Amino acid sequence: MKIREGYIPYLGYQTYYRIVGESRGGKKPLLLLHGGPGSTHNYFEVLDCLAEEGREVISYDQLGCGNSWVEGEHPELWTYKTWDEELMLLRKTLKLEKLHLLGQSWGGMLAIEYLCNYRPEGVQSLILSSSLPSCALWAEEQHRQLAFLPAEEQAAVREAEQSGDYSGELYKRAEAHYMELFCAGAPTAESPECLRRPKRAGRSAYLATQGENEFQATGIFKDWEYRSRLREIEIPSLIISGTNDLCTPLIAKTMYDGLPNARWELFPGCRHMCFVEDNERYCALLNEWMEQYD
């Protein structure tokens, strides 16, 4: 498949993008918004197969991570405006007049904010993959799921939250255990290369927005709340989540109930990256969904 890569100047830095395939037969491109903030596009390469159906699949590294790395500390960059306007510039530069928009985790938050606050034209459909409409609801559900950890690990998390000291070994073990249960395991030799590839994660962006962990937003995300505004998104919306996901069934159902034109697909046994853990079903679902709304 044809792969095109490039950079877009942005705020004195550069935003990396990657385009797989070529659209034909009226099929609209799929634009992917990765999680974090501070993750990278890497894991989305498992969706390259979608381009085999005659559709451009476009991903990019948001400013501050991966191939869009920013040297040094730049706290002024880690704002909603930075990522909102980066998305708008990408669409304009790549001439993405009509497209499907998929946001995974934080990427779904970015998509919700973009659609509610900027009312863009040309978005044929929205896919919210293991995402959320409210950081307060997210925190409630993560704390509920802490009950799946051993008692001593639960206590370590509570102590760290109370003291603000996240350096303890037991706390680190508890967090790692939690993320293995509900987010993802460490890549193995059999994992796709894009998951094994070293990446430059934007830790400073994550700390400024979410904070130390997924349990409780302590950065600017702490007040992020869009439950009451989901009704403003009238385009067809597909919600995807796993039964063992950081995006719990309650979080997914809250999005399903709030969006006027929604469908929800629950993936049994999957954690936070359904597109990796049940790739065949995920890609078949996306192909069917996008063809319906091209």
Task: Report, as residue numbers or ranges, the catalytic residues.
Answer: 105, 245, 272
Q: Which two tokens stand for residue 287?
A: 């192909």
Residue type at 69 in one-letter notation = W
- As a whole number of angstroms, the distance between CA 192 and CA 173 comes to 26
13/139 Cα distance (integer angstroms)? 33
In whole angstroms, what is the distance from residue 70 CA to residue 92 CA? 22
CA torsion 135-137-138-142 (nearest 10°) is 140
Task: For the sheet with 123-129, list strands across it.
Answer: 3-10, 13-20, 57-61, 30-33, 99-104, 123-129, 237-242, 262-267
Cβ atoms of 55 and 29 closer than 8 Å: yes
Which amino acid is located at 5 in the chain? E
Contact 98, 263 (CB under 8 A): no
- As a whole number of angstroms, the distance between CA 255 and CA 248 comes to 11
Q: In the structure encoding, which two tokens stand for residue 149, read together?
A: 């950890």
Q: Are 283 and 47 in contact (CB under 8 A)?
A: yes
C-beta separation of 224 from 161 below 8 A: no
Please state, in angstroms and rounded to a whole number, the distance separating the CA atoms of residues 114 and 87.
8
Tell me how far apart the alpha carbons of residues 177 and 183 are, in angstroms, rounded to a whole number: 10
